């Protein structure tokens, strides 16, 4: 998958710091899990690469 997918789609649209801000988290495994989940959303086509606002919205919805 990584060879066939453009590199821009293999990066989470939000950094760990941004994820912590959105979810009110401290550094830890939950941040990495959220980042991996966002990357999965990009790879599955549910989130456009670089769509930070969409990523924030999806994290908030997932957290509710």
Q: What is the pLDDT of residues 15-64, one digit of tens each?
A: 999 999 999 999 999 999 999 999 999 988 899 888 999 999 999 999 76
Number of neighbours of residue 13 by Cβ within 10 angstroms? 23
Name the pTM for this structure: 0.82
pLDDT tens digits for range 3-26? 566 665 578 899 999 999 999 999
- Residue ranges of E strands in 1-64: none
Q: Is the dihedral of CA 50, 37, 41, 44 positive or negative?
A: positive
């Amino acid at each position: 998958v990584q060879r066939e997918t453009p590199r821009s789609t293999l990066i989470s649209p939000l950094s760990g710091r941004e994820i912590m801000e959105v979810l009110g988290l401290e550094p830890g495994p939950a941040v990495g899990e959220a980042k991996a989940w966002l990357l999965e959303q990009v790879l599955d086509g549910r989130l456009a690469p670089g769509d930070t606002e969409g990523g924030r919205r999806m994290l908030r919805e997932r957290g509710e």
